[in-house]
Amino acid sequence: MEGTFATTTVGSLAAGVRSGRWTAVELVERCAAALADAHALTGCVAAFDTERALVAAEGLDAAMEAGAGPVGPLHGVPFTVKDWIDVEGLPGTGGWSRFRDRRPTRDATVVTRLRAAGAVLVAKTAPLVESEVYGVVRNPHDPSRSPGGSSSGEGAAVGAGASPLGLGSDSGGSVRLPAAWCGVAGLKPTAGRVPTTGHFPRVGLRSDGRTQIGPLVRDPADLDLVLRVLQGPDGRDAGVAPVPLGPVADVVVEGLRVAWCPGSPGWTPDGAVGRAVAAAVERLGSAGCSLAGELDLRLDEAFDVTQRYWDRGRLTGEQVAGQLSDWDRYSSRMLGALDGIDAVVLPAAREPAPPHRELVGADYVFTLPASLTGWPAVVVPVGAHEGLPVAVQVLARPWRDDVALALSSQIAFRSPPMSGF
């Protein structure tokens, strides 16, 4: 376990506990030690919860010894949670000093569901590339580089091999950008699939319908396992719909129509990212997908609508109405553009992780279309360039998270690797 924890998948960790290869306590101890090392390098941890984690793990091991069997599909798997997602008794500050003493009194729905599935919370992670409370978060592949934001600590913890499963939140790309720059798989589910109850700051269908909670993991195959635990109405988030999630194993990749967006005027990724997108498309073609050609995602329009959304606190009522109208128009146009197409491959970011700096809106230009439309979006690493991860993004039609996940597994960094971009 000592040598393999950093690379073992969520599914394999749970299987190892079920088979008796290791115990839940051993996994929690290994995770806590790895997180301490990762934190020393990256500043990724907001708060440890090791003592409670060990008590929970002991209870899980006792249940197995008594013959009760596993609690759920994630029995014994350690996990971490972004500071913005409430955990009872642990800091939930948003990274802002005015909330430094905030301690939630109940878990967010997603945390409750992971615990019920047998997962064990070990720590909370720092939000933002630099916050008032937690300071700077660094990239585990090169501490001089940015980890992306705002699920910065989660990207760093999972990318360092310290956390096998992290929960982040994504408004304009806050799961996907850290996934891309830290070299892990990240999912923004279809808007309305996973409850955001217990997210801080509070979000909802009308206050911020873009924000979704999603997982970060080492292997994209684990995204399906985790999403099945997280999804579905909780009776508190009015924006969540009871739409079934189809089994990823039932998705027939052959014949799926896949388009791609290599960029648009003014929004061109660097050479390594562009080559990665082309290689991913080629791989999907080799897997039997029907390649439907380039698709214009109107990146300029998406960026304009999002900039006005970010500035909405300074807009007049008339300007807000105009922004909402343009947002609806953009979403409708994109649905029309997707007619007859099952998925789109595009960059996750314009470049691999840059030197540490303040993030700007343009860093998210390729993640904005899925945020505005509510489509499911998966980011997966597909290789490396000059020692830094290179990732691509797969979007699918609304509620077809299964399709996005199936295609992502086809192109993720595995043997033979798509390297040398």
Active site residues: 82, 150, 174
Nearest to 44 by CA among 3, 81, 9: 81
Q: How many CB atoms lie within 10 A of CB 234?
A: 16
Buried b (16+ CB within 10 A) or exposed e, 43-70: bbbbbbbbebbbebbeebbebbeeeeeb
DSSP 378-391: EEEEEEEETTEEEE
Nearest to 211 by CA among 176, 185, 163: 176
Residue 235 in 3-state DSSP? coil
27 CB contacts (<8 Å, ≥6 apart)?
Answer: 1, 5, 13, 17, 57, 76, 77, 78, 120
| C-alpha–C-alpha distance, residues 258 and 263, integer Å | 16
* Cis omega (within 30 of 0) for bond into 416: yes
Distances (CA, A) of 108 to 111, 113, 116, 236: 5, 9, 12, 11
Looking at residue 75, its amino acid is H
Nearest to 138 by CA among 124, 123, 152: 152
| C-alpha–C-alpha distance, residues 403 and 257, integer Å | 11
DSSP 317-344: HHHHHHHHHHHHHHHHHHHHHTTT--EE
Beta bridge pairs of residue 393: 346, 379
| Contact assessment for residue 110 and residue 167, using Cβ atoms and an 8 Å cutoff | yes
Looking at residue 236, its amino acid is R
Max CA pair span of the chain: 65
The number of C-alpha atoms within 13 Å of 93 and in the hemisphere containing its C-beta is 21
| C-alpha–C-alpha distance, residues 10 and 5, integer Å | 10
